[in-house]
Structures are given as C-alpha cells and as structure tokens.
C-alpha cells in the first residue's frame, strides 16, 4: 500500500541529517517537460542523440543552437511543480542536504533550491568554445545565433554535457562525495540508465544509505531501493513531507 511506503519514507527521513536527492527528467514531467525515454526523441526528424553531440556542433553550430533555442523557449514557459517545491523546502529541513540533478531545465532553482549540482549542465549557461569563458544567458530568443564570446569573439555553445562528453569533474566529485556520505538517498524521476550519474545510486546503496525511489515505473536500479514510492513525484513527495512534518 502506498500509505505504508509513505510512512516508511518519512520514518527513514525523520532522524536523518545527511540527505541527498538525485533527480531526472521525471521530476519535471508534471511541469510539462517531456522525459527522454518515452518521448518521441526526434527533432526535425533527427534523433536527439545526433543533435546533442560535439560532432554535430562542429559541423553545423546553427542547427544545434536552433534545437537549444526550441528547448529554451519551452523551458521559459514551464513552472516548478510540487515535487521541485518539496525538495526545495527540504534544504532547510536537513542540515546536510544535497540536490544533484541530471536535468538542464533550471526548475529546481526556479523552485528555490540553492547549490544544485547540475550533472549534465544547464540550459541557461553558455560557454565559449575558444577561451572556455562561462556566462549565464536567459535571453530568449538569443539576438545572434550562434552567440559570440564578448571576450575573444569565439563561438559559444550551450554549457550542456553532450552525448560522448565527460561530466564536469567538480560537480561529479561533489555528488559522489555526498552519495557516499548520505544517510538517505531519494532517487526521483530517473530511469537510472545513464552513467556515471546513475552510479550515484550504487555508491549510496553500497555505503549503507537508505534508498527511496519515487517513480511511477521501476528504474533500472529499483532493486537497490529500500523504499519504493510508485507514482508521480509531484503527488507523492508532498505526502511524504506532510507525514514527516506531522511526526
Ligand atoms: P528518462 O527519460 O530516461 O527517465 C525519466 C523517468 O521519469 C522514467 O523512469 C519515468 O518512469 C519517470 N517519470 C515519469 N513521470 C514521472 C513523474 N511524474 N514522477 C516521477 N517520475 C516520473 O530521464 P533521465 O533518467 O533523466 O542526459 O535520463 C537521464 C539522462 O539521459 C538525461 O539527463 C540525458 C539523457 O541522455 C544527457 O543529456 C547527458
């Protein structure tokens, strides 16, 4: 019964101080953002895996930027849902709180989460391919495509981890440390098939954390979960929070 699982989750969280949340596309599903696996996966007839690559960008930066302009336009219109809001509220409930996300949509930050570890980068950041300078840019649409670096004139790219690229080392290290150290890991809205991000669940589980999975479907690492909340995160996380607050 879902009520038993909610109670079990609240019981695990109640005495914990070091809590980590690891989220994926499913946490934004109730905000209207399509997930990766299960969405059409095509953009202008091309598989997303072929657009979001360094090779595609080298060949045709404008084409790849137009894909991200479409994603930025969509991301501008969506709002955080109660799952993002509940996770944001827990940063002040647990002294050792860490939120690591695979999402680039910025909805955790829009809900008020601070210090979000963006494992796959962010839609609102750009990076110069020539000098490496990073900057935030929320302008939609961008005045010039591809945008140019104000410092060196180089072509700028989305500061997003593309297929075949490494994750930002400092972000992955911080997330791995938190996973090793946490008492409870919430795995929310991810299919847990993309590594190294999914490895965080294995790190936490093997270090003895209580793993709570929140997902309408079993993830690839559901067997590592001690508590399973089968259903939408935007409904179930607020129920866990209410039970926690009442206990
Ligand atoms: P996926 O699309 O693989 O998985 C989304 C998960 O969310 C699935 O397990 C769904 O069952 C679940 N889900 C759907 N609706 C939900 C809801 N309302 N509440 C909770 N869960 C829900 O997305 P990710 O696991 O995030 O990487 O994908 C991981 C990475 O694969 C992405 O970050 C991206 C992609 O390649 C890069 O771009 C580098």
Given a cut of 80, whether residue 70 has pLDDT beyond it is yes
Instruction: Decide if 194 contacts 164 (C-beta within 8 A).
Output: no
Q: Does the beta carbon of 35 lie inside 6 Å of ligand 1?
A: yes
pLDDT at 62: 96
- Of the residues 63, 84, 108, 120, only one is catalytic, namely 120
Q: At what angle do helices 199-206 and 169-181 cross, to 10 degrees?
A: 30
Given a cut of 70, whether residue 42 has pLDDT beyond it is no
DSSP structure string for 56-67: HHHH-HHHHHHH
pLDDT at 49: 80
Q: Where are the domains of the chain?
A: 2-32+80-120+167-246, 42-76+127-160
pLDDT at 44: 67
Pocket test for ligand 1, best of 161, 190, 212, 240 (most atoms within 8 A of CB): 190
What is the spatial distance between Cα 222 and Cα 37, in angstroms, rounded to a whole number?
17
Could you please state the CATH topology (level 3) that the domain comprising 2-32+80-120+167-246 is classified under: Rossmann fold (3.40.50)
| Whole-structure pTM value | 0.95
Contacts of 13 (CB under 8 A, 6+ apart): 19, 94, 184, 212, 240, 244
Across the range 104-118, mean pLDDT stands at 97
Q: Does the beta carbon of 218 lie inside 6 Å of ligand 1?
A: no
Annotation says 120 is catalytic:
yes
Mean pLDDT of the chain: 95
The answer as to CATH 3.40.50.2020 being correct for domain 42-76+127-160 is no
- CA–centroid distance, 192 to ligand 1, in Å, is 8
pLDDT tens digit sequence for 137-164? 999 999 999 999 999 999 999 999 998 9
């Amino acid at each position: 019964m879902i009520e038993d699982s909610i109670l079990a989750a609240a019981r695990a969280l109640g005495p914990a101080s070091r809590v980590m949340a690891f989220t994926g596309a499913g946490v934004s599903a109730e905000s209207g953002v399509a997930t990766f696996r299960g969405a059409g996966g095509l953009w202008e007839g091309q598989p997303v895996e072929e657009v979001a690559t360094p090779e595609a960008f080298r060949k045709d930066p404008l084409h790849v930027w137009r894909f991200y302009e479409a994603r930025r336009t969509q991301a501008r219109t969506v709002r955080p849902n109660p799952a993002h809001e509940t996770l944001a509220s827990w940063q002040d409930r647990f002294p050792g709180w860490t939120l690591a996300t695979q999402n680039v949509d910025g909805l955790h930050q829009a809900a008020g989460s601070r210090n979000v570890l963006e494992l796959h980068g962010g839609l609102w950041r750009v990076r110069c391919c020539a000098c490496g300078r990073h900057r935030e840019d929320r302008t939609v649409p961008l005045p010039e495509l591809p945008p140019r670096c104000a410092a060196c004139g180089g072509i700028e790219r989305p500061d997003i981890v593309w297929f075949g690229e490494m994750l930002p080392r400092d972000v992955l290290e911080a997330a791995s440390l938190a996973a090793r150290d946490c008492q409870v890991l919430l795995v929310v809205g991810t299919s847990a098939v993309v590594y190294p991000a999914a490895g965080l669940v294995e790190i936490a589980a093997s270090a003895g954390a209580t793993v709570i999975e929140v997902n309408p479907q079993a993830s690839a690492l559901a067997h590592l979960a001690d508590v399973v909340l089968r259903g939408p995160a935007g409904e179930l996380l607020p129920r866990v929070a209410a039970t926690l607050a009442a206990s």
